[in-house]
Structure 1
């Protein structure tokens, strides 16, 4: 079985770390697979071949890779790769920040929308008004021979337009709110309506006028 090339392993460690190491540091990072004597012998060999540099600080010595050993083309290629990756990350970050700002704007707009309970009360009031008008019209029709003035007709039509406009506005607000919730809701629109207990025109048998 061939002996492990300690010099090659130590050189690889110094190249990857690209910073000063003591003998103890190298011994620890090599997983203590080689004795300190073998590590020191490998360092001496690398020094002799001018692959690394040795510096003494008091009684301790440190070793680091000789920078001239790096391939300039490889370094340039790595810099270009890292620069390109940084640009991609910057672009992704900007996209996410834009999305956050968009969601924050939507969230602020939701605060101006009436609550679901308020919309239910408004709908109930509108329905009561419609029922009242319908009852009055039925009574008028029941009185044969009673003449209905053009002013009465205009008043009824005006109230009809008013309530219909309010109904459509409220329904549009409610629909927009449901669509906004659906953007982050994992289920279908039908299930969402069931989950929040919302009554639709269809569920109560209401057919709005065209």
Structure 2
């Protein structure tokens, strides 16, 4: 029975892979059909016949096919094909990355939307507050005999809207200033607010209308 040509199989492996391999990698790729010593002997034989190239990196040695053994036209054609594949892969990767960023943005916007249960609870609280204030207003009218016209109500609502607008504008400015400071602040936002002595809506027990 003829002995297997280890050198031929090793050479075929290096040609197909067309990249550097260590002795251990060649040994693994050959399916461990031959001993490690036989694989090393085959590499030495191919190196002697100038079929492959050896490069040493410290104690580690790598082996790869001598490029001059390839047809330049085939190499150029394969290079063009690989370049085209890379361009297509890069384009596909960019498209997927853009899609991921788009989905992340949508996810953030969705997470900021209150749930239906939260909205229902808020609606219930507001309705209870309106009912309570309506009762108080009716009692005041009954005690003082004062009639509040629709014009008076509109004036109060107008003033309320004005002050609410000013409040929101100032709060936005304050929030922007805090965010700007936080960019170079080593501690958390909560500690920053404590350090500058800022009183938040929550600390004051104030819940601004929506």
TM over 0.5: no
Q: Which TM-score tier does this pair reach, normalised by the shorter chain?
A: 0.3 to 0.5
Q: What TM-score results when the alignment is normalised by the length of structure 2? A: 0.40
TM-score by length of 1: 0.40
